[in-house]
Homo-oligomer: A and B are copies of this chain.
Amino acid sequence: MTAPEPAAPPRRGRGRPGHDQAAVLRTAVALFNRRGYDATSIGDLAAELGVTKSAIYHHFASKEDLLRLALDDALDELTAVVSAAVSDADGASARDRLREVLRRSVEVLAAHQPAVTLLLRVRGNTPTEVEAVKRRRWLDDQLAGLVRDAAAEGALRDDISPDLVSRLLFGMVNSLVEWYRPEGAHDAATVADAIASIAFDGLVRR
């Protein structure tokens, strides 16, 4: 269990050496994921960075502000991917767009793992969380629609309800946040292929 690197304060020749907003946010998200948002105090975050609580409040208006920025990062990326997939601008079949959104979701998840992890753990306890949950639900609904379209095309077996398929498929994708690490054994493309492969063709040797 190594601490997230406090990222040695860069010197830029002007002002105090210190952490910028992005560096504070990165450390905050890592702590939120390690201990939970509620269990992480601003004091914990300050100690991790080697500054005082007030230094944090120099960069962010509130603890919830840190959470909101991190959640927006994940949501904006996922929204872009899903929006592109549901609009059949290029005339691709729903089946092909589904396969593509699986692949691109895995890539977003790999590239923004900490923020997406935080997003998937949000329960809706504050207005910020409620808003994030709403946006997540919109994404889920779009994806469910895409699976229904693929089913309507006749591309999918018809003995499993499209809604169940969509929950299980994106449940498999989302479970990546529990173990995927950029420096790990599997790169994002391998994982994306494996998921699409298992989902469409199954595990059984033919």
Contacts and interface: CB of A to CB of B under 8 A. Distances in A.
Contacts of A167: 175, 179
Contacts of A206: 157
Interface string A139-162: 000000000000000111111110
Contacts of A171: 171-172, 174-176, 178-179
Given A121-B121, A155-B204, A156-B204, A168 B36 contact: no
Copies in the complex: 2
A186 interface: yes
A123 B33 CA distance: 9
B197 A203 contact: no
A76 interface: no
A191 interface: yes
Contact of A172 (B160, B172, B194, B201): B172
